[in-house]
């Protein structure tokens, strides 16, 4: 069984896509450079103006569509066991971004705590390249799920993608933009490639894009969410897909992490969650979701 899961996970899919994106970026930069020499100043200014205005307008119109923190708080305080019910939906497709070490532990614990057996569920994991530990642990989790639901479609389907890491621990901040760009370009593939196990021929476009992108603090998560936001800004992904949820690490009880501050400031995430009540009170726009990433009380 472990072999099957391993195979599913190792099917990363070809990353020819990144090459095309690189070529596209080079083409755009060549075009804009030639335009810079050929066009008159007034044209250049006008084009840049239109572009910037469009991006800003789209950014704010997308932000306006985000559910309010009060709505999120209401979802949490609701005590109706029959909702939310996602079993009847055509597809439930999560993208989980695994960072490294503690980020992975927290994310896997969250996945365990939110798991519900449904045949319409697909899970995609985003792992940073070279992070064998996270890969092993997610395989363990998937084995656990498959052992609980052997030969049962309710175990759901899964696949995994690899991206280069955005920032290594202790990497100086000034080299980060370069590595981030590399991550971003590889992330496009993971965000837009439909799962092989859920082809369009059988499911239509239901599994084309993830519904919810869940991240909890690695810098990679912010880069991926920024790319997802840009895809929505340029109408490359419909706006009712790629809902981004940021869960601040359980370690942060009084102040936000750098990634957290970036998410909050940029407004990229649809929902900004923290796991400590005190921090939620201090942070405008944050939802207190409780301790979703750690299990404190010893069982038994």
Partner 1 sequence: MVNGVNGVGAGGDGGSSSGSDTVTAAQVRELKRQRLDFFNHGFEAHQPAAQPDLSGRHCFVTVGATAGFRSLLDEVSTAGFLESLAGHGFASLEVQCGPDHSAIWERLARLDEEERRGVAVSCFAYTGDMHAHIINCRGLAGVRPAGCVIAHGGTGTVGEVLGVGAPLIVVANPTLMDNHQLELAEDLEAQNLVVHGQIGSLTDALGRIAERITQGTLDNLPPYSPPSFPVSAADRVTFFDWMVLTCYPDELAVQMLQQPVVNGDVPAVAVDDQEDNGMLVFD
**Binding to partner 1, residues 259-278 (CB under 8 A):** 270-271, 273, 276
Tell which positions 89-108 bind partner 1, by CB under 8 A. Answer: 89, 92, 94, 100-106
Q: Which of 40, 42, 79, 235 binds partner 1 (CB under 8 A)?
A: 79
Q: Which stretch binds partner 1 (CB under 8 A): 32-40, 157-165, 182-190, 253-261?
A: 253-261
Tell which positions 38-77 bind partner 1, by CB under 8 A. Answer: 64-68, 70-72, 74-76
295: contact with partner 1 by CB under 8 A: yes
Q: Which of 257, 266, 267, 285 binds partner 1 (CB under 8 A)?
A: 257
Q: How many CB atoms lie within 10 A of CB 1?
A: 10
> Residues 215, 248: contact at Cβ < 8 Å?
no
Q: How far is the CB of 263 from partner 1 (least distance, A)?
A: 15
Query: Of 258, 264, 257, 259, which is closest to residue 287 (Cα–Cα)?
Result: 264
Close Cβ partners of 148 (under 8 Å, ≥ 6 residues apart)? 117, 155
- The site string for partner 1 over 147-186 (x = CB under 8 A, - otherwise) reads xx--------------------xx----------------
Residues constituting the chain: 300
Q: Which two tokens stand for residue 61?
A: 């119109």
294: contact with partner 1 by CB under 8 A: yes
> Residues 139, 9: contact at Cβ < 8 Å?
yes
Instruction: Find the DSSP H helices in 81-199.
Output: 101-114, 132-148, 176-192
The Cα–Cα gap between 28 and 25 comes to: 5
Task: Give the binding-site size for partner 1 (rule: CB under 8 A).
Answer: 80
Q: Which of 123, 165, 198, 211 binds partner 1 (CB under 8 A)?
A: 211
């Amino acid at each position: 069984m472990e072999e099957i899961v391993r195979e599913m996970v190792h099917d990363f899919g070809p990353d020819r896509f990144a090459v095309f994106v690189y070529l596209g970026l080079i083409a755009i930069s060549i075009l804009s450079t030639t335009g810079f020499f050929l066009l008159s100043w007034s044209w250049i200014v006008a084009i840049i103006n239109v572009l910037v205005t469009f991006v800003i307008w789209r950014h704010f119109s997308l932000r306006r569509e985000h559910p309010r923190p009060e709505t999120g708080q209401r979802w949490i305080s609701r005590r109706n066991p029959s909702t939310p019910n996602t079993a009847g939906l055509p597809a439930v497709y999560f993208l989980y971004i695994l960072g490294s070490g503690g980020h992975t532990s927290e994310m896997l614990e969250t996945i365990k705590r939110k798991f519900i057996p449904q045949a319409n569920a697909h899970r995609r994991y985003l792992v940073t390249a070279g992070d064998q530990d996270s890969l092993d642990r997610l395989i363990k989790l998937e084995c656990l799920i498959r052992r609980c639901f052997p030969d049962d479609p309710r175990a759901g389907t899964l696949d995994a993608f690899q991206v280069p890491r955005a920032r290594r621990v202790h990497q100086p901040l000034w080299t980060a933009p370069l590595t981030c760009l590399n991550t971003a370009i590889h992330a496009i593939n993971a965000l837009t490639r439909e799962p092989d196990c859920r082809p369009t021929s059988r499911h239509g476009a239901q599994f084309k894009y993830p519904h919810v992108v869940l991240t909890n603090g690695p810098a990679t998560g912010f880069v991926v969410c920024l790319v997802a936001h840009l895809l929505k800004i340029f109408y490359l992904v419909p706006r009712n897909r790629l809902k981004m949820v940021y869960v601040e690490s359980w370690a942060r009880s009084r102040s936000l992490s750098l990634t957290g501050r970036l998410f909050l400031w940029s407004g990229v995430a649809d929902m900004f969650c923290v796991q400590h009540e005190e921090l939620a009170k201090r942070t405008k726009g944050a939802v207190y979701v409780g301790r979703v990433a750690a299990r404190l009380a010893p069982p038994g």
